Amino acid sequence: MRDGISNTQYVNLGSLTLSGVTPGLSGYLDTRGFDAASIVVVNGTITNAGTAEGFTVTLQESADTTGAAAVTATETVSGGTVTVTSDDADNVVAGPGLGYAGNKRYIGVTVTGSTGTDATITLMGVLSKPSAAATTFAGAVVART
């Protein structure tokens, strides 16, 4: 058995309040110095997930912080999107998260609701397999422009 805390860093990418179809953006997760990265969606209050389509979380990547594009399915683990359609509190964590297998330095998510979406969510970045251990437990988010 090996210690995982010294080899994992957690980064709060922010909380988003979703309203209708207005997209929400997370901060960026800087993957420099790590060989594994994921983003976990933690549902807060879901008053209404929206129409049958609910709201969708899409993984994005960027070489710098000036713009991001959707990650292709071949650069993800578990696909590049998570969709939440439930209005109840049973689904605290939306799916298995979004695993990144690409090579860009920065990753983040865009969350797009459907008509009627009214929810708050928190996004957590998880970095592991550091090039040098031990890492700090909590990392810093990079502002997204």
Say if CB 116 and CB 21 are below 8 A apart: no
Delimit the domains of the chain by residue range. Answer: 5-130
Tens-place pLDDT, residues 94-108: 666 889 999 999 999
- CATH 2.60.120 assigned to 5-130: yes
For the segment 48-53, the average pLDDT, to the nearest whole number, is 69
Return the pLDDT at 1.
61
For the segment 107-116, the average pLDDT, to the nearest whole number, is 89
Q: What pTM was computed for the model?
A: 0.85
Tens-place pLDDT, residues 56-107: 889 999 999 888 999 998 999 877 787 777 665 555 666 668 899 999 999 9
More confident residue, 122 or 44: 122
Short-list 61, 54, 57, CA closest to 96: 57
Radius of gyration of the chain (CA): 15
The region of weakest confidence among 34-43, 61-70, 134-143 is 134-143
Say if CB 119 and CB 56 are below 8 A apart: no
Spatial separation of the C-alpha atoms in residues 69 and 46, rounded to whole Å? 27
Say if CB 99 and CB 74 are below 8 A apart: no
